[in-house]
Amino acid sequence: MIIDTLGCEWGATTFLIFSSNVFGALVYYSHLFSLITALGLGIFVYAKNPRSLISELFLALTLVFSLWVFSDTVLWADANPSHIMFFWSLTILLEPVIYVLGLYFLAVYIKNDDISNRFKFLLISLLLPTILLVPTKLGILGFDYTNCDREVIEGLLVYYGYFVEVIISLSAVIYSIRSYQKVSKEKKKPLVFMSLGMVLFFFMFAWGNIVGSISEDWTLGQYGLFGMPILLAFFTYTIVRFKTFNIKLIGTQALVVVLWVTLSAILFVRKIEDVRVIVALTLILFLIVGILLVRSVKREVEQREHIEKLAGDLERANEKLKELDQLKSEFLSLATHQIRAPLTAIKGYSSMLLEGNFGVLPQKATDSIQTIMKSCQNLINIVADFLNISRIEQGRMVYEKSIFNLAELAKEVLNEIKPNIDKAGLILETKMPLEEIKVNADRGKIKQVVENIVDNAIKYTVHGGINVSVFADKETAKVTVKDSGVGIDPNEMNKLFNKFSRTKDASKISVTGTGLGLYIAKKMTEAHSGDIKVFSEGIGKGTTFTIELPITK
Protein backbone atom coordinates (compact mmCIF):
# COMPACT_ATOMS: atom_id res chain seq x y z
CA MET A 1 0.00 0.00 0.00
CA ILE A 2 1.39 3.44 -1.00
CA ILE A 3 0.25 6.83 0.27
CA ASP A 4 0.60 9.72 -2.22
CA THR A 5 1.01 13.47 -1.61
CA LEU A 6 -2.71 13.95 -1.14
CA GLY A 7 -2.77 11.25 1.50
CA CYS A 8 -4.65 8.82 -0.79
CA GLU A 9 -3.88 5.15 -0.32
CA TRP A 10 -3.17 3.00 -3.39
CA GLY A 11 -2.58 -0.71 -3.74
CA ALA A 12 -0.44 -2.38 -6.39
CA THR A 13 -2.22 -3.67 -9.51
CA THR A 14 -1.84 -7.10 -11.08
CA PHE A 15 -2.69 -7.60 -14.78
CA LEU A 16 -4.07 -4.03 -14.81
CA ILE A 17 -7.40 -5.13 -13.32
CA PHE A 18 -6.73 -6.85 -10.01
CA SER A 19 -6.02 -4.63 -7.03
CA SER A 20 -7.30 -3.65 -3.64
CA ASN A 21 -8.22 -0.23 -5.10
CA VAL A 22 -11.51 -1.77 -6.23
CA PHE A 23 -13.57 -1.34 -3.10
CA GLY A 24 -16.66 -3.34 -4.04
CA ALA A 25 -16.64 -6.88 -5.37
CA LEU A 26 -19.75 -5.89 -7.31
CA VAL A 27 -17.46 -4.08 -9.74
CA TYR A 28 -15.71 -7.31 -10.61
CA TYR A 29 -18.96 -9.18 -10.67
CA SER A 30 -20.72 -6.79 -13.03
CA HIS A 31 -17.66 -6.43 -15.25
CA LEU A 32 -16.18 -9.90 -15.45
CA PHE A 33 -19.56 -11.61 -15.58
CA SER A 34 -20.62 -9.48 -18.56
CA LEU A 35 -17.22 -9.82 -20.22
CA ILE A 36 -16.98 -13.61 -19.99
CA THR A 37 -20.60 -14.35 -20.93
CA ALA A 38 -20.54 -11.90 -23.87
CA LEU A 39 -17.21 -13.05 -25.24
CA GLY A 40 -18.03 -16.74 -24.70
CA LEU A 41 -21.35 -16.55 -26.50
CA GLY A 42 -19.90 -14.35 -29.27
CA ILE A 43 -17.14 -16.85 -30.03
CA PHE A 44 -19.49 -19.83 -29.74
CA VAL A 45 -22.02 -18.40 -32.18
CA TYR A 46 -19.28 -17.39 -34.62
CA ALA A 47 -17.62 -20.82 -34.45
CA LYS A 48 -20.95 -22.46 -35.29
CA ASN A 49 -21.69 -20.16 -38.26
CA PRO A 50 -18.43 -18.55 -39.42
CA ARG A 51 -19.85 -17.65 -42.83
CA SER A 52 -22.91 -15.85 -41.60
CA LEU A 53 -22.95 -12.06 -41.47
CA ILE A 54 -25.15 -11.98 -38.40
CA SER A 55 -22.81 -14.18 -36.36
CA GLU A 56 -19.83 -12.09 -37.51
CA LEU A 57 -21.65 -8.96 -36.38
CA PHE A 58 -22.53 -10.54 -33.06
CA LEU A 59 -18.88 -11.49 -32.52
CA ALA A 60 -17.77 -7.94 -33.39
CA LEU A 61 -20.34 -6.52 -30.96
CA THR A 62 -19.30 -8.79 -28.10
CA LEU A 63 -15.59 -8.21 -28.82
CA VAL A 64 -15.92 -4.42 -28.69
CA PHE A 65 -18.14 -4.65 -25.62
CA SER A 66 -15.64 -6.93 -23.85
CA LEU A 67 -12.81 -4.55 -24.67
CA TRP A 68 -14.84 -1.68 -23.24
CA VAL A 69 -15.57 -3.69 -20.07
CA PHE A 70 -11.89 -4.56 -19.69
CA SER A 71 -10.91 -0.88 -20.08
CA ASP A 72 -13.52 0.14 -17.54
CA THR A 73 -12.22 -2.47 -15.06
CA VAL A 74 -8.72 -1.03 -15.46
CA LEU A 75 -10.15 2.40 -14.56
CA TRP A 76 -11.45 0.93 -11.29
CA ALA A 77 -8.30 -0.97 -10.39
CA ASP A 78 -5.36 0.99 -11.70
CA ALA A 79 -4.10 4.25 -10.19
CA ASN A 80 -1.46 5.06 -12.83
CA PRO A 81 -2.55 8.36 -14.52
CA SER A 82 -1.03 7.30 -17.80
CA HIS A 83 -3.00 4.04 -17.88
CA ILE A 84 -6.16 5.82 -16.80
CA MET A 85 -5.80 8.39 -19.60
CA PHE A 86 -5.35 5.65 -22.19
CA PHE A 87 -8.12 3.31 -21.04
CA TRP A 88 -10.55 6.18 -20.40
CA SER A 89 -9.96 7.29 -24.01
CA LEU A 90 -10.63 3.73 -25.14
CA THR A 91 -13.99 3.67 -23.38
CA ILE A 92 -14.94 6.97 -25.06
CA LEU A 93 -13.84 5.53 -28.40
CA LEU A 94 -15.63 2.19 -28.03
CA GLU A 95 -18.97 3.31 -26.61
CA PRO A 96 -20.47 4.65 -29.87
CA VAL A 97 -18.98 1.69 -31.74
CA ILE A 98 -20.95 -0.69 -29.50
CA TYR A 99 -24.14 1.20 -30.38
CA VAL A 100 -23.42 1.30 -34.11
CA LEU A 101 -22.63 -2.42 -34.23
CA GLY A 102 -25.70 -3.16 -32.09
CA LEU A 103 -28.01 -1.27 -34.45
CA TYR A 104 -26.32 -2.85 -37.49
CA PHE A 105 -26.81 -6.30 -35.91
CA LEU A 106 -30.47 -5.61 -35.14
CA ALA A 107 -31.16 -4.30 -38.65
CA VAL A 108 -29.52 -7.33 -40.29
CA TYR A 109 -31.43 -9.68 -37.96
CA ILE A 110 -34.76 -8.06 -38.78
CA LYS A 111 -34.15 -7.69 -42.55
CA ASN A 112 -32.39 -11.04 -42.84
CA ASP A 113 -30.09 -9.27 -45.28
CA ASP A 114 -27.24 -6.76 -45.28
CA ILE A 115 -28.13 -3.09 -44.86
CA SER A 116 -27.84 -0.55 -47.68
CA ASN A 117 -24.63 1.39 -48.34
CA ARG A 118 -26.48 4.60 -47.45
CA PHE A 119 -27.27 3.24 -44.02
CA LYS A 120 -23.65 2.12 -43.59
CA PHE A 121 -22.43 5.58 -44.60
CA LEU A 122 -24.74 7.12 -42.02
CA LEU A 123 -23.47 4.80 -39.28
CA ILE A 124 -19.80 5.44 -40.07
CA SER A 125 -20.52 9.21 -40.18
CA LEU A 126 -21.82 8.95 -36.62
CA LEU A 127 -18.58 7.25 -35.56
CA LEU A 128 -16.08 9.43 -37.37
CA PRO A 129 -16.08 12.46 -34.99
CA THR A 130 -15.28 10.16 -32.03
CA ILE A 131 -12.62 8.17 -33.90
CA LEU A 132 -10.91 11.30 -35.24
CA LEU A 133 -11.14 13.48 -32.13
CA VAL A 134 -10.47 11.01 -29.31
CA PRO A 135 -6.71 11.64 -29.39
CA THR A 136 -7.29 15.43 -29.11
CA LYS A 137 -8.20 17.56 -26.09
CA LEU A 138 -11.84 17.25 -27.09
CA GLY A 139 -11.63 13.65 -25.90
CA ILE A 140 -10.01 14.16 -22.51
CA LEU A 141 -8.86 17.49 -21.10
CA GLY A 142 -6.46 16.11 -18.56
CA PHE A 143 -5.94 14.15 -15.38
CA ASP A 144 -7.66 15.33 -12.24
CA TYR A 145 -5.17 15.16 -9.40
CA THR A 146 -7.15 17.31 -7.01
CA ASN A 147 -8.81 14.40 -5.18
CA CYS A 148 -8.42 10.69 -4.52
CA ASP A 149 -10.90 9.62 -7.25
CA ARG A 150 -8.17 9.24 -9.88
CA GLU A 151 -10.38 10.35 -12.72
CA VAL A 152 -9.86 12.29 -15.91
CA ILE A 153 -11.50 15.55 -16.87
CA GLU A 154 -13.65 14.65 -19.83
CA GLY A 155 -13.82 16.82 -22.95
CA LEU A 156 -16.87 17.73 -25.04
CA LEU A 157 -16.55 14.59 -27.17
CA VAL A 158 -17.98 12.55 -24.30
CA TYR A 159 -21.25 14.40 -24.66
CA TYR A 160 -21.23 13.74 -28.39
CA GLY A 161 -20.87 10.04 -27.49
CA TYR A 162 -23.92 10.24 -25.22
CA PHE A 163 -25.79 12.00 -28.01
CA VAL A 164 -24.96 9.09 -30.38
CA GLU A 165 -26.05 6.56 -27.75
CA VAL A 166 -29.42 8.24 -27.26
CA ILE A 167 -29.98 8.74 -31.01
CA ILE A 168 -29.17 5.10 -31.80
CA SER A 169 -31.28 3.80 -28.89
CA LEU A 170 -34.28 5.77 -30.13
CA SER A 171 -33.60 4.71 -33.73
CA ALA A 172 -33.59 1.07 -32.61
CA VAL A 173 -37.00 1.54 -30.96
CA ILE A 174 -38.50 3.27 -34.01
CA TYR A 175 -36.93 0.78 -36.46
CA SER A 176 -38.21 -2.18 -34.44
CA ILE A 177 -41.75 -0.80 -34.20
CA ARG A 178 -41.86 -0.02 -37.93
CA SER A 179 -40.47 -3.43 -38.86
CA TYR A 180 -42.94 -5.17 -36.55
CA GLN A 181 -45.81 -3.79 -38.63
CA LYS A 182 -44.21 -4.98 -41.87
CA VAL A 183 -42.94 -8.50 -41.10
CA SER A 184 -44.97 -11.68 -41.47
CA LYS A 185 -46.83 -13.16 -38.50
CA GLU A 186 -44.31 -15.89 -37.68
CA LYS A 187 -41.42 -13.41 -37.64
CA LYS A 188 -43.08 -11.02 -35.20
CA LYS A 189 -42.17 -12.91 -32.01
CA PRO A 190 -38.44 -13.35 -32.70
CA LEU A 191 -38.33 -9.69 -33.73
CA VAL A 192 -39.92 -8.63 -30.44
CA PHE A 193 -37.47 -10.69 -28.37
CA MET A 194 -34.34 -9.57 -30.19
CA SER A 195 -35.43 -5.91 -30.36
CA LEU A 196 -36.45 -5.88 -26.69
CA GLY A 197 -33.09 -7.37 -25.67
CA MET A 198 -31.12 -4.89 -27.77
CA VAL A 199 -33.14 -1.84 -26.76
CA LEU A 200 -32.94 -2.77 -23.05
CA PHE A 201 -29.18 -3.20 -23.44
CA PHE A 202 -28.86 0.16 -25.23
CA PHE A 203 -30.83 2.03 -22.58
CA MET A 204 -29.25 0.32 -19.57
CA PHE A 205 -25.74 0.80 -20.92
CA ALA A 206 -26.41 4.45 -21.83
CA TRP A 207 -28.06 5.04 -18.47
CA GLY A 208 -25.04 3.58 -16.64
CA ASN A 209 -22.61 5.76 -18.58
CA ILE A 210 -24.60 8.97 -18.53
CA VAL A 211 -25.61 8.72 -14.87
CA GLY A 212 -22.03 7.83 -13.90
CA SER A 213 -20.59 10.68 -15.91
CA ILE A 214 -23.02 13.35 -14.71
CA SER A 215 -23.32 12.29 -11.06
CA GLU A 216 -19.70 11.15 -10.92
CA ASP A 217 -21.01 8.19 -8.93
CA TRP A 218 -19.78 5.32 -11.02
CA THR A 219 -20.97 2.72 -8.49
CA LEU A 220 -24.56 3.34 -9.59
CA GLY A 221 -23.50 3.11 -13.21
CA GLN A 222 -22.30 -0.45 -12.67
CA TYR A 223 -25.83 -1.76 -12.94
CA GLY A 224 -25.92 -0.53 -16.53
CA LEU A 225 -23.52 -3.31 -17.45
CA PHE A 226 -26.15 -5.91 -16.64
CA GLY A 227 -27.77 -4.76 -19.88
CA MET A 228 -25.42 -7.13 -21.70
CA PRO A 229 -26.44 -10.30 -19.80
CA ILE A 230 -30.05 -9.26 -20.39
CA LEU A 231 -29.37 -8.91 -24.12
CA LEU A 232 -27.62 -12.29 -24.06
CA ALA A 233 -30.56 -13.84 -22.22
CA PHE A 234 -33.00 -12.59 -24.88
CA PHE A 235 -30.55 -13.51 -27.60
CA THR A 236 -30.10 -17.04 -26.26
CA TYR A 237 -33.83 -17.52 -25.86
CA THR A 238 -34.38 -16.34 -29.44
CA ILE A 239 -31.80 -18.85 -30.64
CA VAL A 240 -33.42 -21.74 -28.78
CA ARG A 241 -37.03 -20.79 -29.33
CA PHE A 242 -36.90 -19.70 -32.96
CA LYS A 243 -33.91 -21.75 -34.15
CA THR A 244 -31.94 -18.64 -35.08
CA PHE A 245 -28.59 -19.60 -36.69
CA ASN A 246 -29.76 -23.23 -36.54
CA ILE A 247 -28.08 -23.58 -33.17
CA LYS A 248 -29.93 -25.88 -30.82
CA LEU A 249 -29.52 -26.32 -27.11
CA ILE A 250 -27.17 -23.34 -26.90
CA GLY A 251 -29.40 -21.94 -24.19
CA THR A 252 -28.72 -24.83 -21.82
CA GLN A 253 -24.99 -24.71 -22.50
CA ALA A 254 -24.89 -20.94 -22.00
CA LEU A 255 -26.87 -21.25 -18.78
CA VAL A 256 -24.40 -23.80 -17.40
CA VAL A 257 -21.45 -21.55 -18.27
CA VAL A 258 -23.17 -18.60 -16.61
CA LEU A 259 -23.75 -20.75 -13.54
CA TRP A 260 -20.03 -21.55 -13.35
CA VAL A 261 -19.09 -17.92 -13.73
CA THR A 262 -21.52 -16.66 -11.10
CA LEU A 263 -20.62 -19.37 -8.60
CA SER A 264 -16.91 -18.72 -9.10
CA ALA A 265 -17.52 -14.99 -8.61
CA ILE A 266 -19.04 -15.60 -5.18
CA LEU A 267 -15.81 -17.30 -4.11
CA PHE A 268 -13.93 -14.01 -4.48
CA VAL A 269 -16.47 -11.87 -2.66
CA ARG A 270 -15.71 -11.06 0.93
CA LYS A 271 -18.56 -8.82 2.07
CA ILE A 272 -21.92 -10.45 2.80
CA GLU A 273 -23.73 -7.41 1.28
CA ASP A 274 -21.99 -8.00 -2.03
CA VAL A 275 -22.85 -11.69 -1.92
CA ARG A 276 -26.50 -10.75 -1.42
CA VAL A 277 -26.45 -8.43 -4.44
CA ILE A 278 -24.74 -11.03 -6.60
CA VAL A 279 -27.10 -13.80 -5.54
CA ALA A 280 -30.14 -11.58 -6.06
CA LEU A 281 -29.02 -10.58 -9.57
CA THR A 282 -28.12 -14.15 -10.49
CA LEU A 283 -31.45 -15.37 -9.17
CA ILE A 284 -33.40 -12.86 -11.26
CA LEU A 285 -31.44 -13.79 -14.36
CA PHE A 286 -31.83 -17.50 -13.76
CA LEU A 287 -35.50 -17.14 -13.01
CA ILE A 288 -36.17 -15.47 -16.36
CA VAL A 289 -33.87 -17.58 -18.51
CA GLY A 290 -34.73 -20.76 -16.59
CA ILE A 291 -38.48 -20.39 -17.10
CA LEU A 292 -38.01 -19.60 -20.77
CA LEU A 293 -35.69 -22.54 -21.26
CA VAL A 294 -37.89 -25.02 -19.41
CA ARG A 295 -40.85 -23.93 -21.52
CA SER A 296 -38.79 -24.24 -24.65
CA VAL A 297 -37.51 -27.71 -23.77
CA LYS A 298 -41.04 -28.81 -22.85
CA ARG A 299 -42.31 -27.62 -26.20
CA GLU A 300 -39.44 -29.39 -27.94
CA VAL A 301 -40.28 -32.67 -26.17
CA GLU A 302 -43.96 -32.34 -27.06
CA GLN A 303 -43.06 -31.72 -30.67
CA ARG A 304 -40.77 -34.75 -30.72
CA GLU A 305 -43.48 -36.97 -29.24
CA HIS A 306 -45.93 -35.68 -31.82
CA ILE A 307 -43.46 -36.35 -34.65
CA GLU A 308 -42.75 -39.86 -33.32
CA LYS A 309 -46.49 -40.59 -33.23
CA LEU A 310 -46.89 -39.30 -36.77
CA ALA A 311 -43.93 -41.41 -37.93
CA GLY A 312 -45.58 -44.52 -36.39
CA ASP A 313 -48.90 -43.72 -38.07
CA LEU A 314 -47.13 -43.16 -41.35
CA GLU A 315 -45.33 -46.49 -41.12
CA ARG A 316 -48.58 -48.33 -40.41
CA ALA A 317 -50.33 -46.51 -43.26
CA ASN A 318 -47.43 -47.42 -45.55
CA GLU A 319 -47.71 -51.10 -44.64
CA LYS A 320 -51.43 -50.98 -45.25
CA LEU A 321 -50.86 -49.32 -48.63
CA LYS A 322 -48.37 -51.99 -49.62
CA GLU A 323 -50.90 -54.70 -48.74
CA LEU A 324 -53.59 -52.89 -50.70
CA ASP A 325 -51.26 -52.49 -53.67
CA GLN A 326 -50.49 -56.21 -53.61
CA LEU A 327 -54.20 -57.02 -53.41
CA LYS A 328 -54.91 -54.64 -56.28
CA SER A 329 -52.26 -56.27 -58.47
CA GLU A 330 -53.59 -59.73 -57.68
CA PHE A 331 -57.16 -58.64 -58.38
CA LEU A 332 -56.13 -56.96 -61.62
CA SER A 333 -54.29 -60.05 -62.75
CA LEU A 334 -57.20 -62.32 -61.91
CA ALA A 335 -59.84 -60.02 -63.37
CA THR A 336 -58.02 -59.42 -66.64
CA HIS A 337 -57.40 -63.13 -67.10
CA GLN A 338 -61.09 -63.75 -66.60
CA ILE A 339 -62.00 -60.98 -69.05
CA ARG A 340 -59.51 -62.09 -71.69
CA ALA A 341 -61.10 -65.51 -72.22
CA PRO A 342 -64.61 -64.24 -73.20
CA LEU A 343 -62.99 -61.48 -75.31
CA THR A 344 -61.06 -64.07 -77.28
CA ALA A 345 -64.30 -65.95 -77.86
CA ILE A 346 -66.10 -62.77 -79.04
CA LYS A 347 -63.24 -61.90 -81.39
CA GLY A 348 -63.01 -65.47 -82.71
CA TYR A 349 -66.71 -65.84 -83.44
CA SER A 350 -66.89 -62.32 -84.96
CA SER A 351 -64.05 -63.26 -87.26
CA MET A 352 -65.79 -66.49 -88.25
CA LEU A 353 -69.01 -64.56 -88.93
CA LEU A 354 -67.15 -62.10 -91.17
CA GLU A 355 -65.40 -64.90 -93.02
CA GLY A 356 -68.82 -66.45 -93.82
CA ASN A 357 -68.47 -69.60 -91.78
CA PHE A 358 -72.11 -69.27 -90.74
CA GLY A 359 -73.45 -68.24 -94.10
CA VAL A 360 -73.47 -64.96 -96.03
CA LEU A 361 -74.48 -62.02 -93.87
CA PRO A 362 -76.34 -58.94 -94.99
CA GLN A 363 -74.16 -55.76 -95.42
CA LYS A 364 -75.66 -54.05 -92.33
CA ALA A 365 -74.77 -57.04 -90.14
CA THR A 366 -71.21 -57.11 -91.57
CA ASP A 367 -70.67 -53.43 -90.64
CA SER A 368 -71.91 -54.05 -87.11
CA ILE A 369 -69.72 -57.11 -86.64
CA GLN A 370 -66.71 -55.14 -87.87
CA THR A 371 -67.42 -52.55 -85.20
CA ILE A 372 -67.69 -55.36 -82.63
CA MET A 373 -64.31 -56.73 -83.84
CA LYS A 374 -62.67 -53.30 -83.57
CA SER A 375 -64.00 -52.58 -80.10
CA CYS A 376 -63.09 -56.08 -79.02
CA GLN A 377 -59.52 -55.57 -80.25
CA ASN A 378 -59.30 -52.27 -78.28
CA LEU A 379 -60.52 -54.06 -75.18
CA ILE A 380 -58.01 -56.88 -75.70
CA ASN A 381 -55.22 -54.28 -75.96
CA ILE A 382 -56.32 -52.63 -72.70
CA VAL A 383 -56.53 -55.99 -70.94
CA ALA A 384 -53.05 -56.81 -72.26
CA ASP A 385 -51.77 -53.50 -70.83
CA PHE A 386 -53.28 -54.27 -67.42
CA LEU A 387 -51.81 -57.74 -67.47
CA ASN A 388 -48.41 -56.35 -68.38
CA ILE A 389 -48.58 -53.83 -65.54
CA SER A 390 -49.48 -56.42 -62.95
CA ARG A 391 -46.66 -58.67 -64.24
CA ILE A 392 -44.15 -55.79 -64.14
CA GLU A 393 -45.19 -54.71 -60.66
CA GLN A 394 -45.17 -58.22 -59.28
CA GLY A 395 -41.85 -58.92 -60.99
CA ARG A 396 -43.38 -61.76 -62.99
CA MET A 397 -42.64 -60.41 -66.44
CA VAL A 398 -40.60 -62.99 -68.34
CA TYR A 399 -38.16 -61.82 -71.01
CA GLU A 400 -37.04 -64.39 -73.54
CA LYS A 401 -33.92 -62.88 -74.99
CA SER A 402 -32.44 -63.62 -78.38
CA ILE A 403 -30.07 -61.78 -80.72
CA PHE A 404 -31.83 -60.07 -83.63
CA ASN A 405 -31.45 -57.18 -86.07
CA LEU A 406 -33.18 -54.09 -84.66
CA ALA A 407 -33.50 -52.46 -88.09
CA GLU A 408 -35.26 -55.56 -89.37
CA LEU A 409 -37.70 -55.40 -86.46
CA ALA A 410 -38.41 -51.71 -87.12
CA LYS A 411 -39.12 -52.44 -90.79
CA GLU A 412 -41.50 -55.24 -89.77
CA VAL A 413 -43.38 -52.91 -87.43
CA LEU A 414 -43.62 -50.20 -90.08
CA ASN A 415 -44.92 -52.67 -92.67
CA GLU A 416 -47.64 -53.81 -90.31
CA ILE A 417 -48.57 -50.32 -89.28
CA LYS A 418 -48.28 -48.71 -92.76
CA PRO A 419 -52.02 -49.05 -93.54
CA ASN A 420 -52.81 -46.99 -90.42
CA ILE A 421 -50.31 -44.28 -91.45
CA ASP A 422 -51.86 -44.11 -94.92
CA LYS A 423 -55.32 -44.04 -93.44
CA ALA A 424 -54.36 -41.06 -91.27
CA GLY A 425 -53.04 -39.26 -94.40
CA LEU A 426 -49.50 -38.98 -93.06
CA ILE A 427 -46.21 -39.27 -94.88
CA LEU A 428 -43.78 -41.90 -93.62
CA GLU A 429 -40.05 -41.38 -94.03
CA THR A 430 -37.55 -44.00 -92.95
CA LYS A 431 -33.81 -44.16 -92.68
CA MET A 432 -32.47 -47.66 -92.17
CA PRO A 433 -28.82 -48.72 -91.99
CA LEU A 434 -27.31 -51.05 -94.53
CA GLU A 435 -25.49 -53.10 -91.93
CA GLU A 436 -27.15 -55.14 -89.19
CA ILE A 437 -27.68 -53.62 -85.75
CA LYS A 438 -27.78 -56.52 -83.36
CA VAL A 439 -29.35 -56.43 -79.92
CA ASN A 440 -29.87 -59.15 -77.36
CA ALA A 441 -33.45 -58.70 -76.20
CA ASP A 442 -36.94 -60.15 -76.06
CA ARG A 443 -37.99 -59.61 -79.67
CA GLY A 444 -41.71 -59.65 -78.92
CA LYS A 445 -41.45 -57.10 -76.13
CA ILE A 446 -39.19 -54.73 -78.10
CA LYS A 447 -41.56 -55.01 -81.05
CA GLN A 448 -44.37 -54.03 -78.71
CA VAL A 449 -42.33 -51.00 -77.55
CA VAL A 450 -41.58 -49.82 -81.11
CA GLU A 451 -45.22 -50.39 -82.09
CA ASN A 452 -46.37 -48.34 -79.15
CA ILE A 453 -44.11 -45.39 -79.98
CA VAL A 454 -45.00 -45.40 -83.70
CA ASP A 455 -48.68 -45.86 -82.87
CA ASN A 456 -48.53 -42.84 -80.54
CA ALA A 457 -46.90 -40.79 -83.29
CA ILE A 458 -49.78 -41.65 -85.63
CA LYS A 459 -52.41 -40.92 -82.97
CA TYR A 460 -51.08 -37.50 -82.08
CA THR A 461 -50.13 -36.24 -85.55
CA VAL A 462 -52.90 -34.58 -87.52
CA HIS A 463 -50.84 -33.14 -90.41
CA GLY A 464 -47.39 -33.78 -91.80
CA GLY A 465 -45.55 -37.02 -91.32
CA ILE A 466 -43.51 -39.42 -89.28
CA ASN A 467 -39.82 -40.05 -89.62
CA VAL A 468 -38.43 -43.36 -88.33
CA SER A 469 -34.70 -44.00 -88.33
CA VAL A 470 -32.53 -46.77 -86.91
CA PHE A 471 -28.85 -46.24 -86.21
CA ALA A 472 -26.14 -47.11 -83.72
CA ASP A 473 -23.12 -45.61 -82.05
CA LYS A 474 -20.36 -47.59 -80.35
CA GLU A 475 -22.45 -49.04 -77.56
CA THR A 476 -26.09 -48.16 -78.19
CA ALA A 477 -28.65 -49.09 -80.82
CA LYS A 478 -31.28 -46.42 -81.35
CA VAL A 479 -34.71 -46.22 -82.93
CA THR A 480 -35.85 -42.63 -83.37
CA VAL A 481 -39.48 -41.78 -84.11
CA LYS A 482 -39.98 -38.15 -85.00
CA ASP A 483 -43.38 -36.67 -85.74
CA SER A 484 -44.83 -33.27 -86.65
CA GLY A 485 -47.70 -33.69 -84.21
CA VAL A 486 -49.13 -31.84 -81.23
CA GLY A 487 -45.84 -31.74 -79.28
CA ILE A 488 -45.54 -31.75 -75.50
CA ASP A 489 -45.69 -28.92 -72.99
CA PRO A 490 -42.27 -28.83 -71.21
CA ASN A 491 -44.10 -28.70 -67.86
CA GLU A 492 -45.77 -32.04 -68.60
CA MET A 493 -42.66 -33.77 -69.88
CA ASN A 494 -41.71 -35.22 -66.48
CA LYS A 495 -45.01 -37.03 -65.96
CA LEU A 496 -45.13 -38.50 -69.46
CA PHE A 497 -43.90 -41.93 -68.39
CA ASN A 498 -46.02 -42.10 -65.25
CA LYS A 499 -48.73 -44.69 -64.88
CA PHE A 500 -52.20 -43.53 -66.11
CA SER A 501 -50.70 -40.17 -67.02
CA ARG A 502 -51.83 -38.38 -70.17
CA THR A 503 -50.99 -34.86 -71.28
CA LYS A 504 -53.83 -32.36 -71.66
CA ASP A 505 -53.43 -32.13 -75.44
CA ALA A 506 -53.24 -35.90 -75.81
CA SER A 507 -56.62 -36.23 -74.10
CA LYS A 508 -58.14 -33.73 -76.54
CA ILE A 509 -56.94 -35.57 -79.64
CA SER A 510 -57.25 -39.24 -78.72
CA VAL A 511 -59.93 -40.39 -76.34
CA THR A 512 -59.00 -44.05 -76.32
CA GLY A 513 -55.58 -43.92 -74.60
CA THR A 514 -55.27 -45.27 -71.06
CA GLY A 515 -51.96 -43.61 -70.20
CA LEU A 516 -50.33 -47.01 -69.73
CA GLY A 517 -48.55 -47.51 -73.07
CA LEU A 518 -45.50 -45.32 -72.44
CA TYR A 519 -45.19 -46.53 -68.84
CA ILE A 520 -45.08 -50.16 -69.98
CA ALA A 521 -42.75 -49.35 -72.89
CA LYS A 522 -40.34 -47.58 -70.58
CA LYS A 523 -40.38 -50.40 -68.02
CA MET A 524 -39.80 -53.00 -70.72
CA THR A 525 -36.89 -51.05 -72.22
CA GLU A 526 -35.35 -50.51 -68.80
CA ALA A 527 -35.57 -54.23 -68.15
CA HIS A 528 -33.19 -54.58 -71.16
CA SER A 529 -30.77 -52.03 -69.62
CA GLY A 530 -32.05 -49.51 -72.17
CA ASP A 531 -34.04 -46.30 -72.01
CA ILE A 532 -36.63 -44.21 -73.82
CA LYS A 533 -35.90 -40.52 -74.24
CA VAL A 534 -38.29 -37.84 -75.36
CA PHE A 535 -37.72 -34.40 -76.82
CA SER A 536 -40.17 -31.72 -77.85
CA GLU A 537 -39.70 -28.02 -78.49
CA GLY A 538 -43.18 -27.37 -77.14
CA ILE A 539 -46.85 -27.53 -78.04
CA GLY A 540 -47.47 -27.80 -81.80
CA LYS A 541 -43.81 -28.41 -82.58
CA GLY A 542 -43.76 -32.19 -82.83
CA THR A 543 -42.09 -34.83 -80.66
CA THR A 544 -39.08 -37.11 -80.97
CA PHE A 545 -38.91 -40.41 -79.07
CA THR A 546 -35.67 -42.36 -78.99
CA ILE A 547 -35.55 -46.00 -77.90
CA GLU A 548 -32.07 -46.97 -76.78
CA LEU A 549 -30.81 -50.52 -76.29
CA PRO A 550 -27.31 -51.85 -75.63
CA ILE A 551 -25.72 -53.15 -78.82
CA THR A 552 -24.50 -56.75 -79.18
CA LYS A 553 -21.44 -57.45 -81.34
Partner 1 sequence: MDKKNNKFIDLIFVLIIISAVIVFVRYIIFFDFIIYNSESSIPETPKDQINETIKIGL
Phi, psi of 154 (to 5 degrees): -75, 145
- The verdict on 515 binding partner 1 (CB under 8 A) reads no
Q: Are strands 9-10 and 465-472 parallel, antiparallel or unpaired?
A: unpaired
Residue 150 Cβ, how far from partner 1 at the closest point, in Å? Answer: 9
- The verdict on 141 binding partner 1 (CB under 8 A) reads yes
Residue 128 Cβ, how far from partner 1 at the closest point, in Å? Answer: 8
The b/e string for 225-264 (b: 16+ C-beta within 10 A; e otherwise) is bbbbbbbbbbbbbbbbbbebbebeebbeebbeebeebbee
Instruction: Return the residue of 16, 48, 129, 144 that touches partner 1, per CB under 8 A.
Output: 144
Size of the site for partner 1 (CB under 8 A): 51
- Select 68 or 460, whichever has its Cβ closest to partner 1: 68
Q: Is residue 473 classed exposed, middle or buried when 0-12, 13-18 and 19+ CB atoms within 10 A define those classes?
A: exposed
Asked if 79 and 33 touch (Cβ cutoff 8 Å), the reply is no
Restricted to residues 82-111, the positions that interact with partner 1 (CB under 8 A) are 82-83, 85-86, 89-90, 93-94, 97, 100-101, 104, 108
Number of CB atoms found within 10 A of residue 66's CB? 21
- The verdict on 174 binding partner 1 (CB under 8 A) reads no
Instruction: Return the residue of 54, 211, 335, 361 that touches partner 1, per CB under 8 A.
Output: 54
Instruction: Return the residue of 16, 24, 48, 127 that touches partner 1, per CB under 8 A.
Output: 127
Interface segment toward partner 1; rule CB under 8 A; list 1-9, 242-250, 428-436, 451-459: 1-9
Looking at residue 511, the DSSP 8-state letter turns out to be: S
Looking at residue 43, the DSSP 8-state letter turns out to be: H
- Select 147 or 363, whichever has its Cβ closest to partner 1: 147
Beta-strand ranges (E) seen in 412-527 are: 427-431, 438-442, 465-472, 476-483
Interface segment toward partner 1; rule CB under 8 A; list 4-12, 353-361, 402-410, 478-486: 4-12
Restricted to residues 152-171, the positions that interact with partner 1 (CB under 8 A) are 153
Restricted to residues 13-52, the positions that interact with partner 1 (CB under 8 A) are 51-52
- The verdict on 247 binding partner 1 (CB under 8 A) reads no
Compute the distance between CA of residue 516 and CA of residue 372 in angstroms, rounded to an integer: 23
The b/e string for 397-423 (b: 16+ C-beta within 10 A; e otherwise) is beeeeeebbbbebbeebbeebeeebee
- The verdict on 79 binding partner 1 (CB under 8 A) reads yes
Instruction: Return the residue of 22, 35, 41, 64 that touches partner 1, per CB under 8 A.
Output: 64
Compute the distance between CA of residue 154 and CA of residue 133 in angstroms, rounded to an integer: 13
Residue 98 Cβ, how far from partner 1 at the closest point, in Å? Answer: 11
Residue 310 Cβ, how far from partner 1 at the closest point, in Å? Answer: 32
Q: How many CA atoms lie within 13 A of 369 on its CB side?
A: 18
Asked if 385 and 359 touch (Cβ cutoff 8 Å), the reply is no
Instruction: Return the residue of 26, 39, 74, 134 that touches partner 1, per CB under 8 A.
Output: 134
Which residue ranges make up the site for partner 1 (CB under 8 A)? 2, 4-6, 10, 12, 51-54, 56-57, 60, 64, 79-83, 85-86, 89-90, 93-94, 97, 100-101, 104, 108, 112-114, 120, 124, 127-128, 131-132, 134-135, 139-147, 153
